[in-house]
Chains A and B, each alone.
Chain A
């Protein structure tokens, strides 16, 4: 079992991902998903634009997806811990972690995940913390869907074991 998936479910108690790429890639990825308020799980248009904007770097999209998938469990865990702390440092960390995950979500046009992270970021910045636990469940479910959708878009299987950064920094 993929640790990322396992972790996100454990935190948020999410059901298995509903929107996957599989056979119906376009519909599942870009179309409306039940309960998502019309937001995309991931946007193929956005991903195509990203791919086209970096000619000659065909493997970059795979690499970015790997990075997202590897980073996801850590982010979800940090967000859950921040909500649990419920103090000022916790709030600050909630805002930071949600902001970071939101950045990744936006790259892939993951509209619903982006929106959820935005709300959590606002909670971290002084919003109603009481709403956070319920949102964590939604976050877990949505991030699992995004993960599955992205993995379905990859041209190659996950390049590196989850948890290990697949690219070296300079």
Chain B
């Protein structure tokens, strides 16, 4: 959409100069001769930026600024003052002008100021959109918590979010530790500030220090520039230290010092930097056991374990299973523009399964079913749950009914049946879901190749949403579909 700029100026030479200086195919410019005319134009259709002279007939620039801000607080208004008129420039800024330029206006200066105003306006707009999306995605009503245990957990998280204490989250892999850490962040007054998640296990010890604490230029070979660490990047927000139980005793000592002192020292640096970060640590093992075994410092454990959130495995909160499954299915089907349901037997299968991989396994199973099936009803055959740790369908024959579970033409039904049969034969050593993930990955790779890397087109040809495609690609990594799996910390 074109940016709309109002130029408010009663002198025709300036009007034309400003218009020419700011004209661009992506912009729409309207010229007004005075403040009153500008206000009427703005009410007809709002503008993204207003450039206005200060002294004009009918309504002066400062009055116009106030009127515009009454309508749209924070609207970028650039006032044009006389060169050397410092009081006017000061008054403009005090009144809330985004910026000012002086007459005679230098074209480049005007262009730069307007460009900056548009960029900031755009960022503000994106920020507002993201906040709305986030508050929807992480809003209290958006979390699936059907079981009593999960409802109690949400209540606890809500209370914890309001505090500023350090939080330790323990739970098996796939139980949603990062989601809970995000809820602690988004339900707190730190929302709007960064949420930075770092998987401590994903980095070599030497890299982890630089990743978390940052480094100065020349601190080590390859440190060609100074870089902020995660603690600094999360300033004012929340830092999730995932897999905290796996860091070395030496690193534990460094981390303890940072938490105690409230400041970080970049690698190669000499000046400590104050930090204001809420730390949420997460682990899939029992830190207490590690302390008892002498693998984790007790003082760090107590520093992290101010508030403990223990997440239950999915098998211990079975009331959540179907609610979660339907939630995932609805989201993925909507992304693909489909309407999909679970048939009753599939629902029973989900309830019977023990979910050793917890919610992540459930999400993957649904995602895989959505990718692999053409039908709008997910059956037991589409779920293809592993024997390992759970329940497979009682009769292998029911695993692959070709009429309900077919891949797109590149992987035809016969091929699929053969692969499933082969997979069933091998299921003693290879997980069936893993095998089918690989098949789906190959299918996605082919679709991407056919679409010359165009993901939207590939998703369309597969009958899935782009987000589902991205998740699948991320999950399967580069082995199957040529995507680079990253270890970068995620930030929001």
Whether A107 pairs with B104 at a CB distance below 8 angstroms is yes
Q: Does A79 contact B (CB under 8 A)?
A: no
Tell me the bound Cα distance from A58 to B53 in angstroms: 26
Provide the residues of chain B in CB contact with A70, threshold 8 Å. 12
How near does chain A come to B488, taking the closest CB pair, in angstroms?
A: 41
Q: Does B21 contact A (CB under 8 A)?
A: yes
Most buried by B among A64, A70, A93, A169: A169
How near does chain A come to B87, taking the closest CB pair, in angstroms?
A: 13
Q: Does A83 contact B (CB under 8 A)?
A: no
The interface residues of chain B, by DSSP majority, are classed as mixed
How near does chain A come to B12, taking the closest CB pair, in angstroms?
A: 5
Q: Does B383 contact A (CB under 8 A)?
A: no
Whether B17 pairs with A64 at a CB distance below 8 angstroms is yes
Residue of A nearest to B30 (CB): A170
Q: Does B398 contact A (CB under 8 A)?
A: no
Provide the residues of chain A in CB contact with B29, threshold 8 Å. 170
Provide the residues of chain B in CB contact with A50, threshold 8 Å. 17, 107
Whether B31 pairs with A104 at a CB distance below 8 angstroms is no
Contact residues of A between 65 and 85, Cβ < 8 Å to B:
67-68, 70-71
Q: Does A109 contact B (CB under 8 A)?
A: yes
Q: Does A2 contact B (CB under 8 A)?
A: no
Residue of B nearest to A100 (CB): B11
Q: Does A95 contact B (CB under 8 A)?
A: yes
Provide the residues of chain B in CB contact with A67, threshold 8 Å. 12-13, 16
Residue of B nearest to A167 (CB): B16
Whether B12 pairs with A46 at a CB distance below 8 angstroms is no
A67-B13, A96-B56, A103-B11 known; 7 new pairs, CB 8 Å cut-off, are A53-B108, A67-B16, A102-B103, A103-B53, A104-B13, A169-B15, A169-B31
Q: Does A156 contact B (CB under 8 A)?
A: no
Provide the residues of chain A in CB contact with B30, threshold 8 Å. 170
Contact with B along A146-157 (1 / 0, CB 8 A): 000000000000
Contact residues of B between 1 and 28, Cβ < 8 Å to A:
9-17, 19-21, 28
Residue of B nearest to A65 (CB): B13
Whether A106 pairs with B104 at a CB distance below 8 angstroms is yes
Contact residues of A between 38 and 59, Cβ < 8 Å to B:
46, 49-50, 53-54, 57
Question: How many B residues touch A, CB cutoff 8 Å?
Answer: 28
Whether B14 pairs with A104 at a CB distance below 8 angstroms is yes
Residue of B nearest to A75 (CB): B11
Q: Does B106 contact A (CB under 8 A)?
A: yes
Residue of A nearest to B107 (CB): A53
Q: A53-B107, A53-B108, A169-B31 are in contact. Are A107 and B20 (CB under 8 A)?
A: no
A-B contact pairs, 26 of them (CB 8 A): A49-B106, A50-B107, A54-B107, A57-B20, A63-B16, A67-B16, A70-B12, A71-B11, A71-B13, A95-B55, A99-B55, A100-B10, A101-B11, A102-B82, A103-B103, A103-B104, A104-B11, A104-B13, A106-B83, A107-B13, A107-B17, A107-B104, A109-B104, A169-B15, A170-B28, A170-B31
Q: Does A15 contact B (CB under 8 A)?
A: no
Tell me the bound Cα distance from A154 to B108 in angstroms: 23
Q: Does B453 contact A (CB under 8 A)?
A: no
Residue of A nearest to B10 (CB): A100
Contact with A along B83-126 (1 / 0, CB 8 A): 10000000000000000000111111000000000000000000
Provide the residues of chain A in CB contact with B57, threshold 8 Å. 93, 96
Whether B12 pairs with A96 at a CB distance below 8 angstroms is no
Residue of A nearest to B12 (CB): A67
Q: Does A161 contact B (CB under 8 A)?
A: no
Provide the residues of chain A in CB contact with B20, threshold 8 Å. 54, 57, 60
Q: Does A126 contact B (CB under 8 A)?
A: no
Residue of B nearest to A74 (CB): B12
Provide the residues of chain B in CB contact with A63, threshold 8 Å. 16
